Amino acid sequence: MGYGLVFACLAAFLWGVAPILQKRALRDVGLLEMNALRGLGILAAFIPAYFFLRASVLLPRAEFYGILMIVALINNLIGDIFAFIAIRHIGASLAVPVTSSYPLLIALISWLWFGETLSFGVLTGTLIVVAGLVLLNLRGATTAAPRSCLRGLTAATAAALCWAFGLSLNKYLTLRGLTPTAIIYWRGIWFSLMALGNWGIFRALRPATTRSPRDIPPIGALAGALSGLMSLVVGTWCYTVSITLIPMSVATPIGAVSPLLTALGACIFMGESLRPVQWLGIFFMVAGAVMVGS
C-alpha cells in the first residue's frame, strides 16, 4: 500500500503545481488559448513518445479507444465547461467547494461499482478533506439572483459528477487490463485534438477573440504547455497508478489536497495571502488526508 500512497501524493503535488503555471500563462493568453497550449504540450511529448511506447500504448480492443475518448470528453471538456458556467453564475467562492465534492462521489462509486470497502476512517477523512476545500475556497457569499444561483449550483454539481465519473472510468479500464500508460496516452491524445479543434473553430469563426500563436509570448506559451504535461499527463498517470495499488476511495481524497499545494505555492511564489479561515481549511485537508492514508 505504501507505493500507492506515494503515487497519490505525487499526483496531488503535480495537480497542485499545474494551476500556478496556468495562472502565469493566463497573464498572456485567454482560456481558449490556454486549452490549446495544454494540448500542444501534450502532443509535443506524445508524438515522439509513440515510437518508444508503441507496444505499451496499443489497445487490445478498438472499443477502448472510444471509451477513452468518452473519458476525455466527460472529464476534461464537459466537466470543465460546467465548472466555468458555475463560476460565471455564482463565483468561485461557491462553485469551487461544490465541484470539490467529487471525492465523496468517488468514494460512493468505488463502493457501489467496484466493491471497495468504505471504512469509517476513509469516509470521515474524505468528509474532512472536502470541508477543508470549502474553507480554503471561502471568500464571500454570492450576490447572484436566485435563478442564476440555482443554475450555478446545478452546473457545479454536474461538474463534480463528470469528474467523479471520468476518474472512475480510469479504474474500470485498469480492471479491464489497460495499463496506466495506455490510458493516459490516449486520454491525452483525445484531449489535445478536442482542445486544438475547439481553438481552430473559434479562430476561423471569430478571429478577433483568439490570438495567433505567433502573438503569444514564449514564457506564457511554455507555462501553458508545461501545465498540461504536469496535470493531464504525469499527474493523472501517477493517480492512475495509485488506484491500481490502493483503493480509489483512498487515493482520491489524497489527490484532492492539490488545491492546498496550489494555495501555498501562490503565497510563496506569487505573493498572494490567505485569510485565517483558509489556513483552517489547509489544516482540515492535511488532517483528512492523513486519516485516509493511515
Quick: pLDDT tens for 240-281: 999 999 999 889 988 888 888 888 887 887 777 777 877 888
List the grid coordinates of 215. Answer: 502573438
Determine what percent of the chain falls in helix, strand and coil, rounding each to the nearest 5: 85, 0, 15
Domain hosting residue 111, numbered range: 2-293
pTM score, whole prediction: 0.84
The structural domain count of the chain equals: 1
Extract the residue ranges of the chain whose pLDDT is less than 70. 1, 92-93, 137-146, 209-213, 293-294
Element (H, E) at 292: helix 276-293
Cβ neighbours around 103 below 10 Å, total? 29
Mind listing the pLDDT tens digit for each residue in 185-203?
999 999 999 989 888 888 8
Give the Cβ contact number of residue 4 at 10 Å.
Answer: 19
